[in-house]
Amino acid sequence: MNIQHAFPYPLGATLTKNGCNFSVHHASPYPISLIIFDDNGNHTEHPFTEEYGTIKYTLIDDVTEHTVYGFKIIQDNEALLLLDPYAKALKNSPHYQVPYTAKQSWTLAQCVVVNNDFDWQESQRPMIPRSETILLETHVKGFTLLNSDVEESVRGTYLGLADPANIKHLKQQGITTVQLLPVAACMHEPHLLKMNMVNYWGYNPIAFMAPDPRYAKSDAVNELKTAIRELHKNNIEVILDVVYNHTAEGGNGGTTFNLKGLDQDYYLHHHGNYTNYTGCGNTLDITHQPSLNLVMDTLRYWVEHYHVDGFRFDLAATLGREYDQFNPNNAFFKAVAQDPTLQKVKLIAEPWDIGPNGYQVGEFPDGWNECSDKFRDTTKSFWRGEQNYLKSIATRIMGSRDLVSASRWPHKLPVNYVSYHDGFTLQDLVSYKERHNHANGEDNQDGHGDNRSDNYGVEGETTNPRIIALREKQKRNMITTLLFSFGIPHLLAADACSHTQKGNNNAYCQDSDISWVNWKLDKHADEFKVWLADIIQARQTHMVPMINAFSGSKRTKQKVNWYTPEGNNMTHGDWHRAEALCLHLNIYDGEKELLIMINQSNVPTRFELPKSQHYNRWALVCNTQYSTIESKHVIFDYSLSALSIAIFNAE
């Protein structure tokens, strides 16, 4: 006799041979039942027949993939439909008319049963070493929507990422890893809905496992998998930006989409109020076992069924919280470290949140690479011409070893960046002194006030050739510093096209041409795009061997020397008054030698080049004074233009 039985795990909707098992963690006082919709939108109600602790579960015969379902609770004498926290797909794009009502929930909270089968066509994960990784942060829609080379029907979608023209661009630029802004289904904040706007970036999750339907033509699950498969075929990794620090349900008085209706203790509480370490109204309590299970199950799901190559964790300090304290040895980090599925992928932390003791740069466990805001701030300040940053820029170039020892590289290499989704684009960093966020509807009060940017004489766009030339050189200065520093370089996709957001440094709600990458390049933007591809290739050729040699136990055999322009070793006084210096990196066996020459001053500076023990001359790799990369050989000295950086390789 073959009798089918219901089972408590895994949670969510799991297809079986003859039906579907539905399981949910439910610890609230609100009565719960299962709702199944037919093709006409009519529904039937089913009780959960089994219990296992706080798990309610049942098995329903004849349920197939694409079946629509939800969980009903009775709250305030109203029948409210809840999204399954383990929903793998949503029928509708999340949206509602403020205020949210029980009636609207019966459309918004419809989940779809998914069959996880997919033809991966024997594609393999690229497994790019950290030292060779070039991260490109991008938005699914904004990256391809205006690219006329991409097939029109797939622009702005998951399939647009897999379009041959998009993949060709990524490969030409030398990108190894695409980091997608959140693709898990997102709900827009009430104040945005009132203004007929959306949360464009997606940092307000409503379903952790369901890809957002906004970016699909018809089937978000299979279209996202197709994009990842095609990128993998071209040796390009995919990292997902994930948000586990809060949900879209807000704080006190907020809406109930799922977790609030299933278990109040999914959130941290202080005297009955939702804690707000995230600035979004609530904070997910990872010390609560069902919350920890949800996060861990979600991470494994993305890796096992979408073949993603890693994650970037938004406000990751929240995941290490034990109420007001951060603990790098807490249950979440231990669970990740022992998980055989997650041990194989890249883990990137935004190592802070807005709660007490929220700044935790350098404190994450081994295996976690941390975003370095200190690199960002130092690089921008230094090239803007601020004084007393010479020692700091040297520290950042050498991999911020004041925060993380090189003995823990490459698994603890910092993620260095100049521009990110939150903040100015690279083009705006050299075009605007002030933020211009009026389009966001918050009276220009939102967004970061400390941009460390400059306009070099004119706010915004200009036709002045002198200002344009200086701006282009400053872009090259910052990118060269980024690519020839020890760390994992993070680039913003819009920067390859010199995209401007018109001075908006917080375009989270701008589903418009403010955010959509402009692919119509003028002469200067086209030159920069070509130069960027060349300098990335130079980085892979010349800097990667240095990172590998200076990582782990091998680092003690390598040599680092800092010189004044006259060729003397830097003294304590030089670090406080000099405006130019030279870094000499030497792999101990003579395999590789590199010079990084920096001139922050406003006048050309002549450098005496150090002698190589193994080579006859130095070859110029890059000089940011020029918009093209041309090889030039020097022996004894070199004159470096004002406000420039040059890279040399020993030959």
**Catalytic residues, which ones?**
314, 350
Rounded Cα–Cα distance for residues 242 and 237 (Å): 16
How many residues appear in the chain?
651
Query: Tokens 């073949």 — which residue?
Result: 307
**What is the 8-class DSSP label of residue 87?**
-
Beta strands in 433-536 (DSSP E): 488-492
Contacts of 132 (CB under 8 A, 6+ apart): 176, 540, 544
Rounded Cα–Cα distance for residues 17 and 274 (Å): 42
Distances 389 to 253, 379, 395, 516, 592 between C-alpha atoms, Å: 47, 9, 10, 34, 28
* Token couple for 641: 């233009």
Contacts of 106 (CB under 8 A, 6+ apart): 70, 81
Strand 415-417 relative to strand 368-372, pairing: parallel
Alpha-helical segments (H) within 318-389 = 331-338, 373-384
Q: Per the omega criterion (within 30 degrees of 0), is the bond before 465 cis?
A: no
Contact 404, 361 (CB under 8 A): no
Contact 353, 324 (CB under 8 A): no
Centroid of chain to Cα 394: 26
Q: Please name which of 558, 541, 539 lies closest in space to residue 549, comparing C-alpha atoms.
A: 558
* Token couple for 259: 């977790």
Contact 390, 600 (CB under 8 A): yes
* Token couple for 470: 């200086």
Diameter over CA atoms, the chain = 89
Exposed, middle or buried, 300 (CB in 10 Å: 0-12/13-18/19+)?
middle
| Inter-helix orientation angle 523-538/164-173, to 10° | 60
Distances 217 to 86, 307, 541 between C-alpha atoms, Å: 23, 21, 40
Contact 530, 498 (CB under 8 A): no
In order, the DSSP letters of 461-490 are ----HHHHHHHHHHHHHHHHHHHTSSSEEE
Q: What are the phi and psi torsion angles at 169 (to 5°)?
A: -60, -45
Rounded Cα–Cα distance for residues 367 and 341 (Å): 14
